[in-house]
Amino acid sequence: MTLLSNTNSTRPVAAGLPGSKAIFISAQQDKPAPTAQVVGRKCGFCAWGQCAVASDREASAPREIACTQFTRRRVEKHGSLAREGEKLSYLYSLRFGQMKVIGAEHDLHHVTGFRMPGDLIGLESLATGRHRFRLLALEDSEVCEIPVAALKDAVAQHPGFQKIMLSAFSGALDEAYNRASILSMRSLERRFAAFLLWLSKKYACIGYSSSSFRLLMTRADIGSYLATSIESISRLIARFNVDGATRIRGRTVDILDRPYLEALACGDGKLGDGIPPVLAMR
């Protein structure tokens, strides 16, 4: 009941289409025919609700929780979903689109992470109640707004949600450790290889091809994320291309020699499994 308090499922900005497939396609208009298509997936938090019911077998669990219960919000390309320091009223489940996470830690504009469809956004700010990072859309995106207060109530009342929160936090921790792991690689070559493989897995997770995709972020974003310069990224791409490991032209990426990249990124490319937090517990 607490979760259902927010019943106005449509707002001026939200006006979401009923079928998520159509939305997906329309939003990625600048993407040249991804190999795999995402078909009507539910958003992350819906998966949560379902999982809670399934894993808990508790009759009182809120079976009615569905994506449509939450307000959706559109963020257009280059728009911001949240700014650092803002009050955290919602967690966000990214329905489609991609976002970059900007930290103001030492650079004032440091890319701390990227968020893909299915990711839950804002966990790291839950304790303080204020957004720790700025969130910018890399393309037109849509999120579900999950009211924090209602979420807390739900967790308190339905034990099934605790496992889910655990899983979500664990996923967030994983993500943070993975970044640290990437950054701790000495050579740029390895960091970049690890980054490409990570991206690849993320795409695979949401049903796209893992070997052909588009970079929605700029070289500057990548450089910031990997703690290096734009030029180095550019050179690295050139090198990978002539080595036959990849074919990267502009923002189009084809991974040609995955084993080569994995060897670079070290051994088995042990960077977690790249499963989005909210889906990991299926």
Q: Is 183 in the site for DNA (CB under 7 A)?
A: no
For residues 20 and 39, what is the distance between their CA atoms, to the nearest angstrom? 7
- Selected from 31, 152, 163, 219, the binder of DNA by CB under 7 A is 219
Enumerate residues 18-57 that contact DNA by CB under 7 A. 30
- Selected from 188, 193, 206, 261, the binder of DNA by CB under 7 A is 188
Q: Which does 170 bind (CB under 5 to 8 A by kind): a second copy, DNA, none?
A: a second copy
Q: Is 180 in the site for a second copy (CB under 8 A)?
A: yes
Residue 160 φ then ψ, to 5°: -60, -30
Q: Is 17 in the site for a second copy (CB under 8 A)?
A: no
For residues 192 and 187, what is the distance between their CA atoms, to the nearest angstrom? 9
Rounded CA Rg of the chain? 19
For residues 155 and 150, what is the distance between their CA atoms, to the nearest angstrom? 9
Map tokens 């889910």 to a residue.
Answer: 164
Q: Is 107 in the site for a second copy (CB under 8 A)?
A: yes
Between 79 and 85, whose beta carbon lies closer to DNA? 79
For residues 218 and 230, what is the distance between their CA atoms, to the nearest angstrom? 9
- Selected from 106, 242, 250, 259, the binder of a second copy by CB under 8 A is 106
Q: Which does 219 bind (CB under 5 to 8 A by kind): a second copy, DNA, none?
A: DNA
**Chain centroid to CA 78:** 16
Minimal distance, residue 10 CB to DNA, in Å = 28
Residue 271 makes CB contacts below 8 A (sequence gap 6+) with 178, 181, 182, 194, 197, 198, 201, 265
H helix and E strand count, the chain: 8, 11
Contact set with a second copy (CB under 8 A): 103-107, 110, 112, 123-124, 126-128, 132, 152, 155-156, 159, 162, 166-167, 169-174, 176-177, 179-181, 183-186, 190, 227-228, 265-267, 270-271, 280
